[in-house]
Amino acid sequence: MSRTAIIAGHGGLPAALAKVLDEPIVAALDGFMPTGIVPDIVFRLERLALFLQELHQRGVERVIFAGAVRRPRLDPSLFDPATARLVPRLLSAMQGGDDATLRAVIGLFEEEGLVVEGVEALAPELVPSGGILVGTVDDALTRDADRATAIVAALGSVDVGQGAVVAQGLCLAVEALPGTDAMLEWVAATREGAGGVFYKAPKPGQDRRVDLPTLGVDTVAKAAAARLACIAWEAGGVILLDRDKVIEAAGSQGIALWAR
């Protein structure tokens, strides 16, 4: 029987995928446990080769990456001989940034004969297409969204981040290594006034099988605290967790949700 493995990190996406896939194996990177689900396997990068062997032994033929991870600290004493031979390749990729690292990891899985799938292929209902899900968007918010879209494209081209906040044409913040929550918390603590758009999109040219941006109920709460009027994102390029709850939360806060 062919099986799918969810390579899991932090957050609720692994659990959401497990609900729609047929008896997947959930494998979590040590130190980056998912929310709402207990992993079948916990693995370390220092033993990646042994982990890949275990996936084959369990009948896994395809994998999907889901959840947030940071670059873990590697313990040289834990490397098995096969994984140790991969270290120069991984370290070289890490120096090239997140996209290069992800491409290298995907390559390793594919070289083992595993098919790497994306969320939009296996669970398209989690990746909304174009349209306004709740609320209204006026000309001012449209201009802010246009401005934020251009900023995020520029950030992504140099592998920096996937989000920005714009109000009245002014960029209040951009997403960097600390992530979306930190950016929105900073806006909430420092801004004056209200209104504006938080925009999220994949990086230009990134492999959309991994690291698609994710929005959820917590995002709405952070946006409300930052007194924003709209959360917008690239249609077909962002994962929306708990769609009904997100729409309800945004509607109650007077925040428009817009897949552009």
CATH number assigned to the domain comprising residue 161 = 3.40.140.80
Rounded Cα gap, residues 246 and 196, in angstroms:
19
Q: Do 73 and 156 belong to one domain?
A: no
Q: Which of 93, 122, 151 is the last residue of a domain?
A: 122
Q: Which of 91, 122, 153 is the last residue of a domain?
A: 122
Helix axes 48-57, 98-111, angle to 10 degrees: 40
Q: How many domains does the chain have?
A: 2
The residues pairing with 134 across neighbouring beta strands, listed in sequence order, are 257
Q: Burial, 129: exposed, middle or buried (Cβ in 10 Å; 0-12, 13-18, 19+)? A: exposed
pLDDT digits (tens, 9 = 90+) for 2-39: 799 999 988 999 999 999 998 999 999 998 899 999 99
Q: Do 131 and 254 belong to one domain?
A: yes
Per-residue pLDDT, averaged over 242-259, amounts to 97
- Give the structural domain span for 151: 127-259
Q: Which of 81, 99, 122 is the last residue of a domain?
A: 122
Q: What is the CATH number of the domain that holds 108?
A: 3.40.50.20
- Out of 89-103, 110-124, 161-175, the most confident range is 161-175
Among 38-52, 71-85, 171-185, 228-242, the minimum mean pLDDT is found in 71-85
CB 25 within 8 A of CB 53: no
At 179, list the tokens: 């992530």
Residue 133's pLDDT band (boundaries 50, 70, 90)? very high
pLDDT digits (tens, 9 = 90+) for 156-178: 888 788 999 999 999 999 998 88
Q: Do 42 and 87 belong to one domain?
A: yes
Q: Which residue matches tokens 């990746």?
A: 127
pLDDT digits (tens, 9 = 90+) for 193-217: 999 999 999 988 788 888 789 999 9
Rounded Cα gap, residues 15 and 8, in angstroms:
9
Per-residue 3-state assignment (H helix, E strand, C coil) for 220-247: HHHHHHCCCCEEEECCCCCEECCHHHHH
